[in-house]
Structure 1
Amino acid sequence: MSFQDLTTGSDALNERPDWLSAFPFIRQHWPAVIKIRQRYPLLSDYQVIRDWQTFYDSNQSIGLSACLRRFRQTRLAYIAAQDLDQAVGRHLTALHAVSDLADTLIQQAYHAAVSEMTARSGVVRDAQNNPQYLHIFALGKLGSGELNYSSDVDLVFVYEQGNCSDGQKSLEAGRYFNRLGQKLIQLLDQYTDEGRVYQVDMRLRPFGTVGPLACSLEALQHYLLHEGREWERFAWMRARQVAGDQTTGERILAAIKPFIYRRHLDYSVFESLAKIKADMTLFTDYEADDLKYGLGGIRSVEFVVQSLQMTFGGRDETLQGVSIYNQILQLYEAGKLSAADKDILMMGWLWLRKSENTLQVVNDQPKHAFSFPDGLKNHIARFFNQADWHAYQHQLQLFRNQIDVIFRHLFADIATAEVALTADEQRLINEKMAELPLQRLPKSTSEKVYGVLQQAVLIGRNAQSVQSQSSRLHAAADPEGFHEDNKTPVIAWQRLMQVIRAIVKRPSYLSMLVKEQPVLVALLRLIQKHDYVAQTVARFPVLLELLFEAHDLPQELTLEWLQQSWEQQRMPVDDVEQWMEALRYFKLSTQFLIICDWLNNKHGHRHTCHRLSRLAEFILKCVIEFSHRETCEKLQPHATSIINSQQLMVIAYGSLASGQMKLSSDMDLVFVIDCEVISNEQRYFMQRWVKRITHHLNARLYHGHLYDIDLQLRPNGNSGSLVTSLIEFTDYQKNRAWIWEHAALIKSKLVYGTERQHKLFKQLRHSILSRPRQPDDVHQALDDMRNKLVKTDSEHQLEFEVMAAVLIHSHAHPELAEQQYLSDMFTILKDLKLLSTQHTLPAPPIPVN
């Protein structure tokens, strides 16, 4: 009979299950288990804090120390008893319950220690007289909220700052919090007649056993920055506060997060973790078949999950969680694990953890070896819903083998794999190696470079010979995969070497290219198609990370989608320069993906230029609004009342207006203020605002610049004001503008403004273009304009003919003036037989020219 079904009747509640004799620890506390189950028939109903309060109120006479120990033992027995008869898939509820139990007992010991220290030495305060607290962080399995039944607890004590305590026996902050920590450990770890609560492991604190028991936040940060090792990054990524002020605790965790997660794709963690794993094998007896450290064991699952978390977590905050189980699912949803690997890791991990905990709860001992007593084997199959012991053993081994395959694939060192190369292939690799400055670099770097070149040779020889063994990942720039023979790339060695030279001092990227063949294949295909990719990646190696996974851009890049993507980038923008770099990276990465789609024939020239134009409009919008806030802050206190951002109208001419932006296109802009008269104060504000806009667009930083900007098309050109009022702009266009300026208005668009302003500009543009004009005057003006251009080819010639026809015929055919794009105007003119029939539709620009 399942415990979960025993919800009524005293006889049923007191029934002793047949497996109880195999678990001395649970049998010892069985009477208490029965009583607890009467209040909490289901494990999911258990409320540990309420249960503790009831228990402590009834047992205060025996003292806190005894209460902590009895409560831990009886409640652990209850949790284990409930868990044994529930499905293995629900074992996570038991792990959470055990963790909640530990949190509660640590907090009770913490409050008792604080009370004792306060009574004796007062409270530590900072320079502003604010009280300071000791904050307890759990690492390891308690940190992840998945504590073993009989595990120790890994704790670290941190205080934010402080001077001396304010009691009669005043103590300096460090000594005060050390003594507080000692009292806490004594309450939890000291053996008494009642046993102990938890063995407390403090070795994960800065400098381990030789460091102070409690350290300040400043000391912790300094240690992690200057002394922190790779394994400590993995330890701290599962840190969780279990006692202390929550707000301060969150601030402390936020302060050390940069040590754990890097903003870039941190592929070097695989090497670091592999070394940690190798070091651990020196102290592990694999013949003992250890559930934790053995092949395909619990630690293998943790290594897979944590390595992927650390690699990608700096750029995706959803991958920064502490729970191993939950992060497996998050890694799958983020595209870092295949569905098959996700299922194996989740269920295999649960089987391993329940098996380990079943062993531990026999006598409440921290055991990991796969060694079940004969008396327990008779019951184990039912705990795991298997036919018999052998069926259970077979399924567990199957999970372990599958986990080991995933682990070995993730940590495989392809660079040292034995590969049969021909003499010509080996000679080619040696020649390419000789071209690189490897003499002063570590040997491991040369091995990685050799691995990249070797993989490139094999890919060029036969794509099928290096197909990925896992469907876990695929490259964004290669949407069809690389499984077809006709997709085998021809190696563009000069371009590949350009990329390798740029990343030769970035071992993380070399490791990625060696280990993840789809990324290298995608890179080879792209650089084969156009030198833009090699040049851009060589200049900005961070773009290699975009080839690691799918980035599906929508068919139409709407401003709403771009805004959402910009917000999801999650790059820190604590100051202006960081914001500028973040926006440059966003533009650079989105632009790169747009060109990848074009190179992979997902979109043609015209649509790609439209996408680049939409990206430019969004970047311009971000710059305008950020610059407005900047200008208001600098011209306080009344700047916000001078000009609000919705009064600005930005008119684009040329490529941006006509949706023909290329990578080399600049922005031809005119700034107009939607007001009747501009006061001196407003004009000064606007000049400052526009200068900030041009600065943000033009400034060269690490990730390049945004766009070159040209303001010569404003009224009166370079001699005119940077900003004009809408009334002045309208008057100029109607009464003083040259015909060539009206021609420029054909390729114009309001790219920033309100809905009302968009309507006003369309009306003004239509009225100007629809004015009657003498054909000879139009042709003469455009001839003069064309002659001033540095280059005029057949496409430019056709463009001028279309613009001339629009200026001449829009008076009689106003539908021409309603069109935004020259291609649409061209079609109407052809239909009206106003252009020669020998003309064909103007070819769209090539995006990368």
Structure 2
Amino acid sequence: MSSQARWIKAKAEKSLNPPQVETALNDIAADWDGSLPDFLRDFPLGEEALIHLLAVSQIRAERLQRNPELLRWLARPEISMSDRGPRRMLAELHDSSKSVRAENFRALRLWKAREMTRIALRELAEASSLEDTTAELSCLAGVCLAIVYEECDTRLRARFGAPHTEFTILGLGKLGGRELNHSSDIDLMFLYGEEGQVSPRLSNHEWHNRLAEQIVKSFSAGEPALFRLDLRLRPEGSAGPLARSLESMENYYAGFGETWERLALIKARHVCGSKELAYEFSRQHQPFIFPKNPTPELLDEIAAIKRRIEREVPADELDVKLGAGGIREVEFVIQTLQFVHGAQHAFLQEPGTLKALRAIAELELLPGSEVRILDESYRFLRRIEHRLQIEAERQTHSIPDDPEKRERLARSLGFDSAATLLADLQASNERVREIFHHLIASGTAAPAVNLDIFSDPARATRTLNELAQGSVSFHVAPRTRQIFRRLRPLLLEELVQCADPDATLIAIVRFVEAFGLRSLLFELLATNPKLLELLVRTFDASFFATNVLIRHPHLLEEITRSANLNRSLSLPEHAASLHPLVERGDLDSIRLYRQTQLLRTIMRDVLGLGPLPNLWQEITDLAEACLLAAAAIVGAKNLTIIAMGKFGGRELTYASDLDLMFVGDDFRAAQDFITVLSIPSPEGVIASVDARLRPEGEKGPLVGSLEAFEAYYRDRAQFWEIQALTRARPVAGPNQETFRAIAHAAWSIAGRDPDLFGKIDAMVQRIRAERGSGNDALDFKTGIGGIVEAEFLVQALQMRHDVRETSVRLAIAKLADIISPEDADLLGRGYEFLRRLETVLRRWRNTSASSLPPDPIEQRKLAVRMGFKDRESWQQAYERARADIHAIYGKHFGG
């Protein structure tokens, strides 16, 4: 083994990364002219600095292996022993290559890589302070940007002509603060002076956006990219144009500028292009960035940003940038103090973090001990960050999990072990976090509301933020966001009461987007808690009503006028409103009227503005009014229309079909009438009709004469068909009283049948077998003690005792002396409970429902919508209602 090989092995073994160092030194030595040990013995920064670089930076080691001449360049004292500003960098660049711009700036990329190696070497040798290192890295980015900008500008002028206005590039973030790290994104904004025309076919806006596009493209073309550009801090973020005029910038920040953008602009500075334009931008926006008297709303927004930072701390506690007590929190403390006090103290208007911290110390805005903690912690965290990124020039901020890499990092930073490094990091983070926490008192802003009511609190938080801020492509004015901050706690208080807060919040977002005038709606809801309560309750109670409101947001104001919502509308009032539509034959408007009034009824329902029987009456009156309007349009005046079932009893609920029979001889009119009622449209149908209760059912004629009805019920009708006549109620046409008499005669005669109760019970059992779900506990309609048992019991007693009443509820009251007041009360309450349950289930989608949802979670939602606090208490009431109904049923049917 040669002396050089022994030297390499010895140096590698003592290093932080023996395999990597040995490989690198051997590769360099293989192409080295002369003795490598002798050369490095006189290395300006010391051979240990180079060994350190080779050990901790694989990417720099590979550069030196590929290009040993780079090592000779680094060995020149004037290169490595002092920092370099933009003039020296540019001079060196132009001396090293005559074609910087060729091949997608290939020479510029090579020069940048060489400079990155020099800067890393100086930092590892501790020949450069943190400020010097970050300033050199920022200067390097600025030089690259200036060269690319000048080339793109020259090309564009040659091709399209020159605009008669200035252009400048502003650096933000770490570039703006002259504190780039070894793998920073470059945050930029492109700005031009005035609108105008470069040529008749090309505006200044188009020209400068093409320029910006070319700059962005040039930075990313070729491998590796010069720098990663981040343009998301510009107005409107990724959705906004790349370049804006000075006036456009002013209009945006005046109308839509957010508090986080104020903080971002603290670091804005000129990088290249017109210095005068950059200065004008800074002067123009100084009141926005540094308000003289920050309002309580602005301080609330700062507090909200602080809370968001606290929420977004990553699970990885070893993230030196985003972790608790990390770089981001140090920067936030400093920028917040700049924002609050910058207007009164001009020397606080400094983009650099450490310079701004010195200004804070001079003004005694923080105690001296806290300033020292922030200064020391920031330097310590940035040193760790730089070591992590020096390895491969990758954007990483997390201490590695791998024990070997962790130990290497610790020793590179001068610690004797990883454990010592982590202990110091934890102590630093805790000190910073304490300062961060008390920076803005928790009482400055509204207390955070517990979001555990949502299945996914993080997603709910994002949704609430989207409510305030709008979609990615839509900007919301600051006043709108201020109003929403008042609205938010009120909204959450209402959502706490909901059966399904998640679905309700999504419905609110959909409605806000449909409403359009966000600020007007937020103001309306924030100043009118009753309206907010109505909206939230409606969305929680009915998906159907939600969709109607989203399709027609204007209905909210129309329906909620106090005089309109607080009282029910009668059949004559509906008829009067529909009369002009009938005159025009306007079926679409009749359908919309029905939808609107059904929405109104749902709103009255969710607010509890009337008992359940009143709700049935409202739904029935609306259906009857629309039915009569349709009958008038088709000219069905010679038809006698008979309402059956719940329609006949004036006890319709949501999504109830209209059971109808027709008396007369005008088949065409009846057919047209059903068609008109049933034609689907975006607003639904006027009514869903079921005509199967007519003689012979679906096999029988749609229309029959009085004589045919009388003969059928006397001679051929099945028992259940006669039973159904207890609910028959004529609603239109001639001969109403005659039909009423025929119906009464038929069911009263059948009521004398000795086997009345046996026949009706057989029908109950048949319905249960044919229509039940197979799980009796869920079948609140057909199951034991369900709605069917209650209704058939009442009809049997009516028929036996000749009690004329189409309403089940009123019939129960009339039967009290027959079955006992106590049983009548139990039967009535049990029946109303089950009908309420049915109403709530049907209200959700305005569709039929006869069984409970099997899912306990859905049952809990049903319970809450019915007014119960929990599923258990609802379950007890449900089982009690069914038990009471079945017990009374058994008394009369022998069950």
User: Which interval holds the TM-score relative to the shorter structure?
Assistant: 0.3 to 0.5
Greater Rg by CA: 2
Structure with the higher fraction of residues in helix conformation = 2
TM-score, structure 2 as length reference: 0.43
